[in-house]
């Protein structure tokens, strides 16, 4: 739009270093997986890519005034091909790579491209910010620890301090349940009972699936100890969405269903969010997902660092992004910044019921000497991450 006009209006900006060509890429890893429980969550062909494109568009609109050029390449890769995909990008001179993938592939890319700046826009595993952290990886996606803490704080604020934890049987479910147990301990919540729902490869969306679900789920969760809420830990997306209306005792559900801790959603309109939603929907013709927002956030953080430093060098950008001078408006009501000790972006967590944000954590009254946002997730004294020297 109006490119010719734009090139004419390149006007002088005081106190900014030279123009930069910023070539970035986003790798999205394609996993073989079952269809989601709800068709509202079907994966679109441009998942995460559309968020990256919006950020690049936003960056370019800003960059035109400073002579910067932003470009982003899309790469969809099979899990087995991520290292070669990263190598190809490196061969093209791309040193800034957004990764929308799970932990294993993220680490494979990070270790194969150690001189590149890797932006994690998908993997929530807490260990990636702890013992498994990498110096060249910054995390936009909130960790599972941050999400569990966000739920726990809200639960405490509500005085719902007796949890009935219902988890799946896969390793990822068990790990997510551990996050909730840790969060419970951190905020003084009592997990009165924990129960497993075995992943037997159920009927999911078959015609009569709801009949089975309606009979099976209540039995699996019958006669629990007295509790205020049910916490669902179902990283595998097997049973949690069925819980709210198939419990034995009617209770609110939080976690993997009911009230869910998310980085963003299409309902958010506070803090200028409407403008973000409008721009995204115009570009993609659909609603935003967390994968899109996380990718947008990654490249906007890069764009902001480029604008403030005038550099496209990944190491300059990383240094600036981890410094006190970096902050970014992210449609969450307060500036978002990076934790110096593990490269995690501190940010509010939205508690979303599928239609509205019922609340946003951190909750009032949870205090911290540096930032209330650091009450979510592992704090500096607790971190296992050794790759980030101050």
Partner 1 sequence: MRLLVLFFTFLLASVAHADRIFVSNERSNTVTVIDGSTWEVLTEFPAGLRPRGITVSPDGSKLYVCASDDNLVRVFDTSSYEELFTLPSGPDPELFVLEPNGRRLYIANEDDNLVTVVDTQTKEVLAEVPVGVEPEGMAISPNARIVVNTSETTNMAHFIDTETNTIKYNMLVDQRPRYAEYTSDGTRLFVTAEIGGTVSVFDIDGDGAPTEVGKISFQVAGVQPEWLQPVGAKVTSDGQWLFVALGPSNRVAVVDAKTLEVEKYILVGERVWQLAFTPGEEYLLTTNGNTNDITVIDVASQEAVRSIPVGQQPWGVIVAPGIN
Candidate list 90, 286, 308, 340; residue touching partner 1; CB under 8 A: 308
Residue 366 within binding range of partner 1, rule CB under 8 A: no
Nearer to partner 1, 3 or 39 (CB): 3
Candidate list 178, 316, 327, 379; residue touching partner 1; CB under 8 A: 327
Q: Rounded to an integer, what distance in angstroms lies between the CA atom of residue 52 and that of residue 299? A: 6
Residue 311 within binding range of partner 1, rule CB under 8 A: no
Residue 9 within binding range of partner 1, rule CB under 8 A: yes
Q: What are the two backbone dihedrals, phi and then psi, of residue 225, each rounded to the nearest 5 degrees?
A: -65, 165
Residue 5 within binding range of partner 1, rule CB under 8 A: yes
Each as own residue / partner, the long-range contacts of residues 354-359 (CB below 8 Å, 24 or more positions apart, any chain) are 354/260, 355/267, 356/267, 357/265, 357/267, 357/268, 357/270, 358/259, 359/154, 359/157, 359/259
The token pair at 22 is 């910023």
Q: How far is the CB of 335 from partner 1 (least distance, A)?
A: 5
Residue 61 within binding range of partner 1, rule CB under 8 A: yes
Sign of CA dihedral 41, 47, 48, 53: negative
Q: Label the pairing between strands 349-352 and 260-262.
A: antiparallel
- Residues belonging to the chain: 390
Residue 98 within binding range of partner 1, rule CB under 8 A: no
Interaction mask 228-267, partner 1, x per CB under 8 A: ----------------------------------------
User: In Å, what is the CA distance from 61 to each residue of 65, 227, 365?
Assistant: 8, 52, 39
Closest CA to 151 of 351, 368, 353: 351
Q: How far is the CB of 122 from partner 1 (least distance, A)?
A: 23
Residue 12 within binding range of partner 1, rule CB under 8 A: yes
Q: Where on the phi/psi map is residue 252: left (φ > 0), alpha (ψ -120 to 50), or beta?
A: beta
| Segment interacting with partner 1, rule: CB under 8 A, options 7-15, 109-117, 175-183, 252-260 | 7-15
Nearer to partner 1, 15 or 200 (CB): 15
Nearer to partner 1, 23 or 62 (CB): 62
Residue 275 within binding range of partner 1, rule CB under 8 A: yes
Nearer to partner 1, 214 or 278 (CB): 278
Candidate list 36, 46, 65, 74; residue touching partner 1; CB under 8 A: 65
3 state DSSP class of 390 = coil
Residue 173 within binding range of partner 1, rule CB under 8 A: no
User: In Å, what is the CA distance from 282 to each residue of 1, 51, 77, 169, 352?
Assistant: 14, 12, 27, 40, 23
Residue 335 within binding range of partner 1, rule CB under 8 A: yes
Residue 11 within binding range of partner 1, rule CB under 8 A: yes
**Rounded to an integer, what is the distance from CA 159 to the centroid of its chain?**
27
Q: How far is the CB of 209 from partner 1 (least distance, A)?
A: 41
Nearer to partner 1, 157 or 248 (CB): 157
Nearer to partner 1, 68 or 246 (CB): 68
Question: Angle, to 10 degrees, between the axis of helix 82-91 and the axis of helix 103-112?
Answer: 40
Q: Rounded to an integer, what distance in angstroms lies between the CA atom of residue 256 and that of residue 247? A: 15
Closest CA to 335 of 306, 372, 308: 372
Closest CA to 236 of 98, 104, 102: 102
Residue 14 within binding range of partner 1, rule CB under 8 A: yes
Residue 282 within binding range of partner 1, rule CB under 8 A: yes
Nearer to partner 1, 8 or 45 (CB): 8
Interaction mask 31-60, partner 1, x per CB under 8 A: ---------------------------x--
> Contact residues for partner 1 (CB under 8 A)?
1-2, 5-6, 8-9, 11-16, 58, 61-62, 65-66, 272, 275, 278-279, 282, 300, 304, 307-308, 327-329, 333-335, 372
């Amino acid at each position: 739009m109006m490119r010719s006009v734009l090139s004419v209006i390149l006007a002088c900006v005081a106190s900014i270093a030279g123009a930069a060509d910023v070539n970035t890429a986003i790798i999205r890893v394609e996993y073989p997986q079952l269809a989601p429980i709800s068709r509202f969550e079907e994966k679109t062909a441009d998942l995460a890519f559309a968020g990256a494109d919006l950020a690049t568009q936003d960056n370019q609109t800003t960059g035109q005034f400073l002579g910067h050029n932003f470009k982003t390449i899309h790469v969809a890769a099979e899990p087995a091909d991520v290292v070669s995909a990263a190598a190809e990008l490196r061969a093209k001179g791309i040193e800034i790579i957004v990764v929308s993938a799970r932990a294993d592939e993220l680490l494979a890319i990070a270790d194969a491209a150690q001189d590149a700046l890797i932006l994690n826009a998908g993997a929530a595993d807490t260990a990636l910010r702890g013992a498994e952290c990498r110096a060249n990886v910054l995390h936009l996606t909130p960790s599972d620890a941050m999400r569990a803490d966000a739920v726990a704080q809200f639960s405490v604020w509500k005085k719902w301090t007796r949890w009935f934890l219902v988890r799946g049987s896969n390793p990822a479910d068990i790990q997510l349940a551990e996050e909730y147990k840790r969060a419970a301990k951190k905020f003084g919540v009592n997990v009165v009972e924990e129960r497993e729902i075995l992943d037997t490869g159920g009927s999911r969306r078959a015609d009569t699936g709801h009949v089975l679900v309606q009979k099976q789920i209540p039995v699996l969760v019958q006669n629990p100890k007295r509790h205020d809420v049910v916490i669902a830990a179902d990283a595998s997306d097997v049973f949690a969405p069925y819980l709210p209306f198939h419990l034995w005792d009617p209770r609110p559900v939080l976690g993997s269903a009911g009230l869910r801790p998310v980085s963003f959603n299409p309902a958010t309109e506070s803090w200028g969010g409407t403008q973000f939603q409008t721009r995204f929907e115009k570009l993609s013709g659909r609603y935003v997902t967390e994968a899109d927002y996380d990718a947008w956030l990654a490249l906007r953080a890069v764009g902001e660092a480029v604008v403030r430093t005038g550099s496209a060098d990944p190491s300059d950008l990383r240094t600036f992004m981890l410094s006190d001078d970096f902050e970014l408006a992210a449609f969450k009501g307060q500036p978002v910044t990076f934790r110096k000790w593990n490269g995690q972006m501190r940010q509010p967590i939205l508690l979303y019921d599928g239609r509205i944000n019922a609340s946003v954590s951190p909750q009032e009254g949870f205090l911290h000497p540096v930032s209330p946002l650091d009450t979510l997730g592992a704090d500096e004294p607790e971190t296992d991450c050794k790759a980030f020297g101050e």
